[in-house]
């Protein structure tokens, strides 16, 4: 079920990933055999699913199963900061961005057409026009601005420096 989540985070030296179904005589349900190969690749998915062995957080991050790993005392703040950042963005852009990424699992042509459609839809919104104008006004297309795009982008949506650190 964890493979169904948009993002996955773990705790260094604590998080363990395991697909124990095959040793039990069953298959990973809940889309485990379908999503895991897309996340970590076919060969690694085979190892995870068929071996029944624990995968430590460091390996899971290196293989792409976990987005990031953090120390136990920092994970809550880091994940909350990311959630706050994403929640500050225009909701329609977040929704269609997620939908476009999900469309990448099908035929490339269909995904590209959907992406172009969503881009054309979003570029016409008031939020997009306002944010693009603000981005230009604060130097987004200057050499200095290009070296701090994350900071400038965060300022468009009212986040301070502390709020954008992930």
Judged by phi (left if over 0) then psi (alpha if -120 to 50, else beta), residue 60 lies in: alpha
Q: Within 10 Å of residue 2's Cβ, how many Cβ atoms?
A: 16
Q: Please give the backbone phi and psi of residue 132, each rounded to the nearest 5 degrees, phi first.
A: -65, -40
Band of the pLDDT at 94, cuts 50, 70, 90? very high
Q: What is the pLDDT of residue 165?
A: 52
Q: Is the dihedral of CA 108, 113, 116, 117 positive or negative?
A: negative
What CATH number is given for 2-72 in this structure? 3.90.226.20
CA distances from 78 to 59, 86, 127 (A): 20, 13, 27
Question: Over the stretch 108-162, which tens digit does the pLDDT of each residue have?
Answer: 787 788 878 888 888 888 888 888 898 889 998 888 888 888 788 878 877 654 5
Cα–Cα nearest to 16, from 55, 47, 62: 55
Q: What is the pLDDT of residue 59?
A: 97
Question: Where do the structural domains in the chain lie, given as residue ranges?
Answer: 2-72, 79-164
Q: Answer yes or no: pTM beyond 0.85.
A: no
Return the CA Rg of the chain.
19
Question: Over the stretch 54-82, which tens digit does the pLDDT of each residue have?
Answer: 999 999 999 999 999 999 999 999 999 99
User: Which pair of tokens denotes residue 162?
Assistant: 């502390």
Q: What is the pLDDT of residue 102?
A: 86
pLDDT for 46 beyond 60: yes
Q: In what helix (H) or strand (E) does residue 144 lie, and over which residues does it extend?
A: helix 143-146
């Amino acid at each position: 079920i964890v493979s169904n989540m948009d993002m996955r985070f773990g705790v260094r030296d604590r998080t363990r990933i395991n697909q124990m179904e095959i040793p039990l005589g069953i298959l990973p349900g809940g889309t485990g055999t379908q999503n895991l190969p897309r996340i970590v690749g076919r060969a690694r998915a085979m190892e995870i699913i068929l071996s029944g062995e624990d995968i430590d957080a460091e390996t899971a991050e290196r293989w792409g199963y976990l987005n990031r790993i953090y120390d136990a005392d920092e994970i809550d703040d880091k994940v909350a900061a990311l959630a706050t950042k994403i929640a500050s963005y225009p909701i329609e852009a977040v929704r269609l961005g997620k939908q476009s990424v999900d469309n990448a699992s099908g035929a490339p042509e269909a995904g590209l057409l959907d992406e172009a459609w969503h881009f054309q839809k979003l570029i016409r919104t008031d939020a997009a026009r306002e944010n693009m104008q603000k981005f230009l006004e604060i130097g987004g297309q200057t050499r200095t601005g290009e070296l701090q795009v994350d900071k400038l982008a965060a300022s468009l949506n009212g986040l301070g420096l502390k709020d954008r650190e992930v």
